[in-house]
């Protein structure tokens, strides 16, 4: 019984020391073991700042700044014309162009929003895909798509190999990835790969898909490229 009361008093002392007495106040700064970014070196909204000559903390965006997801508007041909509005490049639409899916299933082939626009779907489209692939994908998947990028030398050996035998054959479920499935992984990520939906525009994601297909075709048939129809 003696040890029970001693243990009871010990628990009370721990609780009181940890949480303090209810309603107690102090002018001292609280002890923050884990600050959780409570204190940040920033100027809060509608606050003054001596850093700027006008004393205002709120500043206008830098000239030329556009909201994330918008592209630079086309410049008018003459001073009398009005520039076209910025075009959304990231969306949360439900169509194949936005999701890579047709209903609940991954689609195959490039969306008509690209293939029907000959100003977009041309040799430059593949070159754009190559550029975006080399910037965002080659470090893991390799420049040839064989899954042996720079990261493979540092223990990351799970990057998908687009050059696997049979990966151009839809009947080979173990190796084949539909165009929509590749687009979806670029957008949302999979496994150790993070999503790039907030970094790569919709059109550029499809350009990467097209370039991956050209890598696969070229590996299977030397000198071949993705047909532009």
Contact by Cβ (8 Å): 201, 96: no
Indicate the pLDDT class of residue 211, thresholds 50, 70 and 90.
very high
Question: Would the pLDDT of 223 be above 60?
Answer: no
Which residue has 């609280």 as its token pair?
Answer: 30
- Flag whether 214 is in a domain: yes
Contact by Cβ (8 Å): 113, 101: no
The backbone torsions φ and ψ at residue 127, rounded to the nearest 5 degrees and listed phi first, read -65, -40
Give me the pLDDT at residue 20, please: 59
- Flag whether 164 is in a domain: yes
- Flag whether 74 is in a domain: no
24 or 151, higher pLDDT:
151
SS3 48: strand
Q: What is the mean pLDDT of residues 175-200?
A: 91
Q: How many domains does the chain have?
A: 1
- Flag whether 137 is in a domain: yes
Q: Are strands 101-102 and 105-106 parallel, antiparallel or unpaired?
A: antiparallel
Cα distance between the two ends of the chain: 88
Question: Would the pLDDT of 179 be above 50?
Answer: yes
Q: What is the mean pLDDT of residues 112-122?
A: 88
Give me the pLDDT at residue 229, please: 47
- Flag whether 207 is in a domain: yes
- Flag whether 165 is in a domain: yes
Give me the pLDDT at residue 124, please: 92
Give me the pLDDT at residue 76, please: 57
- Flag whether 191 is in a domain: yes
Q: For the chain, what is the mean pLDDT? A: 81
Beta-ladder partners of 105:
102
142 or 78, higher pLDDT:
142
Return the DSSP state at 94: -
SS3 145: coil
**DSSP percent split of the chain into helix, strand, coil, nearest 5:** 35, 5, 60
Question: Would the pLDDT of 83 be above 60?
Answer: no
Contact by Cβ (8 Å): 226, 219: no
Beta-ladder partners of 106:
101
Domain containing residue 172: CATH number: 1.10.760.10
Contact by Cβ (8 Å): 179, 100: yes
- Flag whether 198 is in a domain: yes
Indicate the pLDDT class of residue 227, thresholds 50, 70 and 90.
low
Find the domain containing 164 and state its range.
114-220
């Amino acid at each position: 019984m003696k040890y029970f009361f001693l243990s009871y008093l010990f628990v009370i002392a721990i609780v009181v020391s940890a949480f303090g007495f209810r309603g107690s106040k102090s002018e001292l700064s609280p002890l923050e073991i884990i600050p959780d970014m409570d204190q940040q070196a920033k100027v809060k909204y509608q606050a003054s700042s001596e850093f700027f000559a006008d004393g205002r903390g709120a500043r206008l965006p830098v000239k030329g700044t556009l909201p994330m997801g918008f592209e630079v508007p086309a410049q008018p041909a003459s001073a009398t014309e009005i520039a076209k509005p910025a075009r959304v490049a990231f969306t949360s639409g439900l169509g194949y162009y936005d999701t890579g899916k047709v209903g609940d299933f991954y689609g195959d082939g490039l969306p008509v929003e690209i293939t029907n626009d000959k100003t977009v779907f041309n040799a430059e489209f593949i070159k754009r895909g190559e550029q975006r692939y080399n910037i965002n994908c080659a470090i893991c998947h390799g420049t040839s798509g064989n899954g042996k990028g720079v990261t493979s030398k540092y223990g990351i050996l799970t990057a998908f190999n687009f050059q696997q035998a049979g990966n151009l054959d839809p009947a080979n479920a173990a190796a084949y990835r539909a165009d929509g499935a590749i687009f979806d992984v670029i957008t949302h990520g999979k496994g150790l790969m993070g999503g790039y939906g907030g970094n790569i525009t919709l059109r550029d994601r499809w350009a990467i898909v097209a370039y991956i297909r050209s890598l696969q075709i070229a590996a299977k048939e030397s000198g071949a490229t993705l047909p532009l129809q």
